[in-house]
Amino acid sequence: TVTCRDERFRLYLDEEAISNRIAELGAQIDEDYAETDTPPIFIGVLNGAYIFTADLMRAVTVDCEVDFYKLSSYGEAKVSSGTVTERKGIDADLEGRHVIVVEDIVDTGLSMRYVLDQISEKNPASLRSAALLRKPDALKVDAPVDYLGFDIDNLFVIGYGLDYGQIARNLPAVYILDEEEGE
């Protein structure tokens, strides 16, 4: 069972730090999309981004829409498989839309790069990206982030949507897994 009290987990970003930063990102998005002809649409990348997408969207006050894309590259492993598998496509018609891709984390950058490439082909009016976390030292491909929460160290992080073998997504803050305590 995973709980915040698990001794292997060390608090890395608390709830207040996360919500304060998201409020700032929301205000920035409000400013950037105040004048657009059509409401921006957030495309959350499932599963990891579901919580950040919900919180980011509620920090925004301009009219906006949401839809989801589902990918997986990590599976049960703690390192990227190096290939991105599409699990669910995007239903929304993104042609001519102002799209903001939302990820929980940009690690190697492969997932974000994949989504940006796929959506570019749909001829959006504009395309930007948001990520709560980014690991600059793990980046392998160019994966721009327009709305970034935090740059973090190259550590395995969980909670706030991020999983460890599919569990721990429900932890309310971001934790690091202490390797010395074993798996």
Closer to Mn ion by Cβ: residue 94 or 101 = 101
48 binds Mn ion (CB under 5 A): yes
Closer to Mg ion by Cβ: residue 103 or 163 = 163
Closest residue by Cα to residue 105 from 167, 153, 172, 39: 153
Phi-psi region of 181 (alpha: psi -120 to 50; beta: other; left: phi over 0): alpha
CA distance 176 to 179: 9
For residues 49 to 78, the per-residue mask of contacts with ligand PRP, x marking binding by CB under 6 A and - elsewhere, is -----------------------xxx----
Q: Which residue among 13, 98, 104, 158 contacts ligand PRP (CB under 6 A)?
A: 104
Q: Which residues of 41-62 are buried (b: 16+ CB within 10 A; e: fewer)?
A: bbbbbbbbbbbbbebbbebbee
How many residues touch Mg ion under the rule CB under 5 A: the total is 2
Torsion over CA: 44, 149, 159, 23 (sign): negative
107 binds Mg ion (CB under 5 A): no
What positions carry a catalytic annotation?
Answer: 107
CA distance 8 to 12: 12
Segment interacting with Mn ion, rule: CB under 5 A, options 28-36, 42-50, 89-97, 146-154: 42-50
Please give the residues from 57 up to 86 whose contact with Mg ion meets the rule CB under 5 A: 74
Q: Residue 135, Cβ neighbours under 10 Å: how many?
A: 18
118 binds ligand PRP (CB under 6 A): no
CA distance 91 to 117: 16
Element (H, E) at 27: helix 15-32
Segment interacting with Mn ion, rule: CB under 5 A, options 30-38, 40-48, 136-144, 158-166: 40-48
Please give the residues from 8 up to 37 whose contact with ligand PRP meets the rule CB under 6 A: none
Structure-token pair, residue 12: 């890395």
108 binds ligand PRP (CB under 6 A): yes
Query: Which stretches of the chain bind ligand PRP, using CB under 6 A?
Result: 45, 47-48, 72-74, 80, 103-112, 163
Query: Which stretches of the chain bind Mg ion, using CB under 5 A?
Result: 74, 163
